[in-house]
Structure 1
């Protein structure tokens, strides 16, 4: 009876899968020719590999790169984007000492209260404060950015698919509309106030190119040359850290856990062999 039930269940799932395949293929065949290709579909590019040190199962932080990325964020990105989930004191994990953290925090104006009047006012940041948004509210942000609200960057590499590579590619993906695109889609254009970027899904992006020239940020002596590509790579690494500061620790913890599970599996198998070794097979009659 159990065997019959299993056969019927398997047959049911096989027929359901076949029906779904046939139905889906029929839909594609019947409607596919009605769907006109779009410029966004044809010319949108998938993110390029940023080759960050944290890539792969054995990835680790490059602290110097994270500090360079923080510098790029502070001098370029912070003009439009906040980090509302990152406190200044968290930067100690990047190798900054207490005095340096205080200095970085004091360079930002954060919302506070005037002790004399009790009214809202701005004050220099403290290590316990979080990176502020440069705008008081969403309306002000939209008004200053062609009606587009710059997103908070705290979790941007987690919020976007292939986040670190997406950030890196987007920052280096600005350019002119290719002639091939113009020939194939004459009606496509980049409206005023937008910027062409092949790594953005709609190809037209409200954010102006933030990294416009090599040397835009001055790195300390002994650091790599601050080319646009290097600065984009560094800030992508920094935003990977802001989104998941325990990323490397999680990877490092995972290997001992996997080793323990493998050892436990082998131990359980050997125990099972030992326990069942003396049991007779069905139908076997010993003396």
Structure 2
């Protein structure tokens, strides 16, 4: 009986090991998938932040806009929490999202064609702006903006505090479309209520949002100036020389102790030489002063 029980235990061990290995493999797949999702979300958030950032300088003041950064009451910045903004214009509909692609969890556009924005099945999920036009009873959708082709500028160069314009475009073989959204700085957010057909396939709309209010930094005199820059460069070069020389003498010449510092005798004599030079200049200047005073004769 003993040999049979031993053989059964030996059979159980590989089975337990195999089961444990399968569980670990499943766990690693789950962790890998979670990591991929986290990386995708992080990259999407960082790309949205980069698209909607602008720095402008005027009258010694720096204006910094970061429309996708979270602020009080708006954790996604200027981005719509629904995943899209929707505006009606006459017999047309406009959907758009700022700084990122649109996401439809509800009210997805039902359009014919939907070129450049996911096709009829996934219409609206592959672009940042979409317009729907009634054509003989059929809704025809066209992509008019991509987040990757967005450009942000000031509404008024002379008054940066007013807000910014985010212009997104979509270029295909058949059409060249764009949407310009003017976002005015306002502590009370208002959604767009109208759309202007600028011409061709170009549209424009306006809205207000606190995320369009810039962080203002007073400039004054900024930077080190040419002299400060020169001193900084010289110090960096000196540090690099000392570091490279010390490493070379230590590793290749086998020097140890204080002698590892390159040109040690020169650096030891440098304070004394500087003192002698200063004293010489002082004596020379003092001598010229005394000579100048002694060149006049006393008047009785």
- Give the TM-score normalised by the residue count of structure 1: 0.26
Q: Which has the higher strand share?
A: 2
Q: Report which structure shows greater RCO (CA 8 Å, sep ≥6).
A: 1
- Give the TM-score normalised by the residue count of structure 2: 0.25
